[in-house]
Amino acid sequence: MKFYKKTLTGLLIFTALFSCKKDDDSTSNFMQNATNAIEGSVWIQNETEFTELNIQDGLQTNSFTALGTFECIEFDDDFICYQGSHSETKTLIRKENFDGDNIWTKEYAATPELYYLLDTIEVYLNTVFIGYTIVDRNTYESTYYLEALDIDTSAIKWSLELTDNIKKTTSFEGQIILELAVGSSTVELLSINANTGSIDHRLPFTERIGRLKQGTSSIYVMTWNNNVISMDNELNFNWTFETDGPNLLGGIEVDNQFLFYSRDKTIYNLNKNNGSLNWQKDYLEDFPLGINVYNDAVYIRHYKEAENIEIKTLDLSSGEELDSYTLENSELLSSSDTEFYFINEYVLFFKLLPFDNKSHVSLINIEDKTLIWEKELNPINYPNLLLTSSKVYP
């Protein structure tokens, strides 16, 4: 199973609140046979209580109680997790399973004089790369570091002090690529040798970065300044593609294509090698929310009219619209406060009802336009970690 996360404040470490009881019977199945097309689970969280739901039918399969704040990323069926509140000691943990035993732990200990903020985690070349900030409690001055840990032992391979906060990271062709920022303003990109910690290349960069994405043959830098930029591991530009709006939703690389849904309300399919336009599809009356590709179909999601949720299916090669599915505005699936996650040809919805102290979760088959199952969670919970055999695109 693969779970993708680059920063500890990213969307894929979910921060919604959901819980359920062991014998909860509030799951409704709308098909005689739950789908076998996807496998995996979603962990939901109510404070320190964690519950695992089977993605196929929404039934509870496991639960545990953590000691405090607890978040993880997954790599090759192992997990790198951390726990600890804002200004207290942080503990980094490698685990065999999300709810399993620890392989090792490493503390970033708070003292009366200082505390640590863990900013980013990247796992690459049998190494855990931790971006962190040390904050002086008296002066509130900060110092910034990138640290490389041996994935088997947690021993420090190297540590590098930086000039500014690490905002985003990715890895590519032996290099760790960092975005350094002051607040929300990008100031520089660094290309760091993953083995030695040397800064091999640096690039002053003033465009605010929306997404920093690893590709198979380049790095994609998607910006608030209406650009998508392809770079090599030395931070040289391969090509730049300009849109009419910010590019914040990330993108998907499929063979020689790179697809993304821009804030200018257009889906673009580019040649990933030279940045030329293969096709574009405009939805100028709608607000873009997400995109996914599965089996030569492009799935997009956006607000429609009175905040209805609309999911469209496009042909990957031409951009031709093949199908459309509108979920009417309702208490269950109101788009304004619903989180969603594409999983192959399915979409998983989380609806929060804080005033009612409850949540709803539901799985919908986009191709068949059917509700597979739904579940009411009471009291309210937040989704914490989604694990499937395929990448989940936010």
Instruction: Tally the domains of the chain.
Output: 1
270: burial class by Cβ within 10 Å (0-12, 13-18, 19+)? buried
- Asked if pLDDT for residue 167 goes beyond 60, the answer is yes
Q: 74 lies in a domain?
A: yes
Q: For residue 36, what pLDDT is reported?
A: 56
pLDDT in tens, 113-127: 999 999 999 999 999
86, two tokens: 């804002």
In a domain, 6, yes or no: no
Residue 170 lies in a domain: yes
Query: What rounded mean pLDDT belongs to the chain?
Result: 83
Instruction: Indicate whether 242 pLDDT > 90.
Output: yes
pLDDT digits (tens, 9 = 90+) for 308-325: 678 889 999 999 999 988
Q: Which residue range forms the structural domain that includes residue 336?
A: 17-388
Its pTM surpasses 0.75: yes
User: Model confidence at 333, in pLDDT bands (50, 70, 90)?
Assistant: low
Q: What is the pLDDT of residues 125-160, one digit of tens each?
A: 999 999 999 999 999 999 999 999 999 999 999 999
pLDDT given at position 393 = 37
Does residue 11 lie within any of the structural domains? no
For residue 1, tell me if it sits in a domain: no
Residue 153 lies in a domain: yes
Q: What is the CATH classification number for the domain harbouring 384?
A: 2.130.10.10
Q: Is residue 10 part of a domain?
A: no
Provide the H-helix boundaries in 316-365.
Answer: none
Domain annotation covers residue 316: yes
Q: How many CA atoms does the CB half-sphere of 48 hold within 13 Å?
A: 8
The whole-angstrom separation of Cα 261 and Cα 283 is 10
